[in-house]
């Protein structure tokens, strides 16, 4: 059986960890909680130990890790804070190119041309005007 069939990345591929988006989901945000449920990260029959382990918490470790997780969960319940944390986790700098979904090409200006400015520039770029 090939590595790809086993769910392993091909040799030489960068390590695949959780995406910055998945890493910043919050159980305190109803949309995030629904996504976590749909992806199997959260289920009604899951034990507390399983959930905490999935969040990177060692249940036999110090309580400070639980406090930090709770702070981050509460912070990520607010969409603006969550976007800031996603950008930080993705290594983006202010004004940097945001990550795109797999299979979606980011909109960038052709070499030698400035990027479209504002809504007018975006509409021109999309061919709407």
Would you say 106 and 59 are in contact if contact means Cβ atoms under 8 Å apart? Answer: no
Selection from 37, 36, 32 nearest residue 76 by Cα: 32
Contact assessment for residue 44 and residue 51, using Cβ atoms and an 8 Å cutoff: no
Do the beta carbons of residue 79 and residue 87 sit within 8 Å?
no
Residue 127 in any domain: the answer is no
What pLDDT does 103 receive? 60
Residue spans of the chain under pLDDT 70: 1-17, 93-117, 122, 125, 127-129
In a domain, 119, yes or no: no
Number of domains forming the structure of the chain: 1
Residue 41 pLDDT: 87
- Enter the tokens of residue 37: 């449920």
Quote the pLDDT of residue 1: 46
Domain of 85, in residue numbers: 17-92
Under 8 Å between Cβ of 36 and 27: yes
What is residue 87's predicted lDDT score, i.e. its pLDDT?
85
On whether residue 6 sits in a domain, the answer given is no
Nearest-5° Cα angle at 23, 50 to 90 = 160
In a domain, 100, yes or no: no
């Amino acid at each position: 059986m090939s590595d790809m069939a086993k769910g392993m990345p091909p040799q030489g591929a960068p390590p695949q960890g959780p995406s910055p988006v998945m890493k910043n989901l919050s159980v305190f945000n109803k949309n995030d909680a629904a996504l976590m449920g749909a992806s199997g990260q959260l289920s009604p029959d899951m034990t507390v130990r399983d959930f905490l382990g999935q969040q990177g918490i060692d249940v036999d470790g110090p309580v400070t890790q639980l406090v930090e997780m709770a702070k981050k969960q509460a912070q990520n319940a607010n969409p603006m804070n969550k976007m800031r944390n996603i950008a930080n986790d993705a290594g983006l700098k202010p004004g940097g190119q945001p990550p795109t979904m797999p299979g979606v090409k980011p909109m960038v200006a052709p070499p030698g041309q400035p990027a479209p400015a504002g809504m007018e520039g975006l509409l021109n770029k999309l061919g709407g005007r």
